[in-house]
Amino acid sequence: MAAGAEALHFQVGDGDPQDRLDKLVVHLLERAGRATSRAAVQRWIAAGRVLVDGAPARASAAVRPGALVEVRPEEPPPSATAAEPDVAIPVVYEDEHLLVIDKPAGLVVHPARGHESGTLVNGLLALPGFALAPADPRDPMGHVRPGIVHRLDRGTSGLLVVAKDEPTREALKERFARHAIEREYAAIVAGAARDATYDTLHGRHPTDRLRFTSWIRGGAGASGAAPRRAVTHVRVLERLGDAATVVACSLETGRTHQIRVHLAERGRTPVLGDPLYGKPPKKPALRAIAEELGRQALHARVLGFVHPATQRPVRWESALPEDMRKALDQLRGLATRSSI
């Protein structure tokens, strides 16, 4: 076995997962307070850093009760993604385990084609504790996503949590997976919205790779991935005549573009200014407000969960940003004059 980190030793019990070695090691490490992603464990197994009864084994191998498992963790190679201290990160909370930011609209969360720099990740790498963050094993381009467990679209503003260590990251990912995170968004939509719950399938659009859709059947979609369930609860907060509505959207699931898709396709009230799922409003006054806003009027205003380290509930609220407040004031004025 390669030299490096101190080896950890476990004996497999009757109640431990036994169908796959990678699943077993993830379980054993989590129980030992060393939570690690399955992708990292698979990398260690491929490198011969996991032994079963003194011998290497495949990630898919079954493991018998009583077997002795030796794990020697390995730090992944650092990413080549550059640290950029000039990226402004509005932090609303920070402790030794995580931080919560209030992302401004326009800030891309992680590098991708067309956005190789100036992202939230580039800014995080310039902060203490993020400098040695590893490359994301899921990213073929070798980008790093230090502590990123969820994201907001470039044009969406609001609250986002970032983990500072692997146990916190894995614990937060688990909370997201079982829908134990409170998330509520505020949106200004075009049209007269109503209170509703949208419970649909959600997947890639069959002909447009940039879009997602709820009008999709089970089975593999255009991307080869099966559609997944998406649930959004919509509550009317304020009616602005018949032309616009302010709504609160609470998420049970967190699919890409989920709120935008549900409001546009199921509610027929697209988010005002949404360049992908909406259309320019026909009424000139409403269209002018949407054009001045320049992005979808969507803001992640509430974020809450049980803190992985303290096991205490934590919760934050974020006020509407200035551009959405300005649009809302303009819409209220137009509604009062019945001009839209």
Q: Which residues are catalytic?
A: 153
Residues 6+ apart with CB under 8 A from 30: 36, 170
DSSP 253: S
Q: DSSP strand E in 107-169: where?
A: 157-163
DSSP 265: I
Q: Compute φ and ψ for 304, nearest 5 degrees.
A: -150, 150
Q: Compute φ and ψ for 288, nearest 5 degrees.
A: -65, -40
Q: DSSP strand E in 214-326: where?
A: 228-240, 244-251, 298-306, 313-317
Three-state DSSP at 42 gives helix
Helix runs in the chain, H state only: 21-31, 38-46, 120-124, 166-177, 258-261, 284-293, 322-336
What is the end-to-end Cα distance of the chain in Å, rounded?
71
List 71's β-bridge partners, or say none.
8, 50
CA distances from 246 to 13, 97, 329, 340 (A): 54, 35, 12, 15
Residues 6+ apart with CB under 8 A from 5: 72, 73, 74, 75
